[in-house]
Amino acid sequence: MAPGLVEPAQYDAFKDSDVKAPHKNKSVINYTPGRNVVESHENYEYEDLKPRFPDVKWPALTEVPYHDKGLNGDPEFRNLLSAATDVFDYNPKIGTEIHGIDLANLTDAQKDDLARLIATRGVVFFRDQKNLTIDAQRELGAYFGSLHKHATTCVPQRPGLEDVHVVYTGENSTDMRAMFTPTFLWHSDVTYEFQPPSYTSLKVVTGPPRGGGGDTLWSSQYAAYDALSPFMQKYLESLTALHSAEMQAQGSRELGRPVRRDAVTTEHPIIRTHPVTGWKSLFFNPGFVTKIVGIPKTESDAILGYLNEVIATTQELHVRFQWNKDDVAFWDNRVCNHTASYGFAPHRRHAVRVCCQAERPVFDPAGKSQEEDLAERYGLPKVNKDGSGIVNYND
């Protein structure tokens, strides 16, 4: 246990001599600012889900059929929400939490509604999903499409789970904040693939205690598109970008880890259209996009830096989730970026992720933006994007 992270002393109830009558028989709440008890992991129940790096070689991915199950979902999500006890949005742009749902026992109609809701809201959170074992999580993921096998990251110790990505930081692991710029950590998963993932689930099986750090943040690429001026939107709609796995593969080699599938570089549109919502979104992330095709490097670098800033610093695009054990986040990797938050050492953080391959990204000029569609539906005022005016910011 690290210095300063000791279990707080236990206090008895106040005695009459300690306080005056109003506080009699009240227990003291044990609280030390910024300090949490470190959990012991002897006889750890998830040994089979700890990480390993199998030294094997996989063939290149080939195109697989994909039908988005969200297209079958009820636009009002009535099948899914019939079992819910509570549902609420984190903010208007992204993030919804649902209570009362058991992800391990959904009907097909509920799964279709879930896909449609995730496509609409970007990321949906579920608390206390004890029944969602890794086998149930894989089964649910496979309902949405062919499960993706990651070429470099760790998989569980248990054989046969090579399509599961393990997120594991042990008690003695090095905090990696110094290794990356904050904007670089924002990413969507494996966008260098020909068919990058859609519906992605992450379950935390062991994590820091409440207040111990390790939160995850998501950023809406629907909303990032809406944050751009109409002139920038139009410009980016005409362009593609290169998404490369080379840096990720090289990082694995330098650590002495195997690269199970050859690194690829794939060209994708910078703006894509979602097959379920019909909304346009930015399709960009700092971790894998290396350049914009067909324009000078100086121009490309400037635009990439600008898009980094939009994703990382526009607060209304963001949702932040504080995990508890057995919580699940289910997001649409096509329209969300996400980032880890550090500063949770010396606590263990252990999670398992399952995702499926989706369609090849496409841009449909007939699509709408999220902001346009919702404004028409609900009579919302048009957003002013003219930054040349004078304003008295007075919060």
Is residue 14 over pLDDT 80?
A: no
Tell whether 242 is covered by a domain: yes
Tell whether 97 is covered by a domain: yes
The answer to whether residue 373 is catalytic is: no
Is residue 21 over pLDDT 80?
A: no
Q: What is the mean pLDDT of residues 154-169?
A: 97
Q: What is the mean pLDDT of residues 154-170?
A: 96
Tell whether 39 is covered by a domain: no
Q: Tell me the pLDDT band of 1, cut-offs 50, 70 and 90.
A: very low
**From 261, 272, 338, 349, the catalytic residue:** 338
The answer to whether residue 121 is catalytic is: no
**From 68, 113, 189, 332, the catalytic residue:** 189
Tell whether 291 is covered by a domain: yes
Tell whether 159 is covered by a domain: yes
Is residue 117 over pLDDT 60?
A: yes
Q: pLDDT averaged over the chain?
A: 92
Within 10 angstroms of residue 29's Cβ, the number of other Cβ atoms is: 7
Sheet strand arrangement including 86-89: 86-89, 96-99, 123-126, 328-332, 197-206, 349-357, 165-169
Tell whether 15 is covered by a domain: no
Q: Which among 260, 286, 282, 305 has a CA at the least distance from the CA of 60?
A: 260
**From 187, 260, 334, 350, the catalytic residue:** 187
Q: Tell me the pLDDT band of 15, cut-offs 50, 70 and 90.
A: very low
Instruction: Give residue-wise pLDDT tens across range 97-113.
Output: 999 999 999 999 999 99
CA distance 185 to 218: 11
The answer to whether residue 338 is catalytic is: yes
Q: Tell me the pLDDT band of 124, cut-offs 50, 70 and 90.
A: very high
- Look at the chain and report how many structural domains it folds into: 1
DSSP track, 350-362? EEEEEEEE-PPP-
Give the structural domain span for 254: 71-378
Instruction: Give residue-wise pLDDT tens across range 240-298.
Output: 999 999 999 999 999 999 999 999 999 999 999 999 999 999 999 988 999 999 999 99
How far from chain centre, in Å, is Cα 337?
6
We report the CATH number of the domain holding residue 312 as 3.60.130.10
Tell whether 333 is covered by a domain: yes
> Alpha-carbon Rg of the chain, whole angstroms?
23
126 vs 393, which has greater pLDDT?
A: 126
Evaluate the CA torsion angle 105, 111, 114, 118 in order and state its sign: positive
End-to-end CA distance of the chain: 43
Tell whether 27 is covered by a domain: no
Residue-level pLDDT at 24: 58
pTM, 2 dp: 0.91
Residue-level pLDDT at 5: 30
Q: What is the mean pLDDT of residues 2-10?
A: 31
Residue-level pLDDT at 176: 73
The answer to whether residue 187 is catalytic is: yes
Across 13-17, 241-245, 320-324, least confident range: 13-17
Both tokens assigned to 222: 């629907």
6 vs 304, which has greater pLDDT?
A: 304
Across 13-17, 150-154, 307-311, least confident range: 13-17
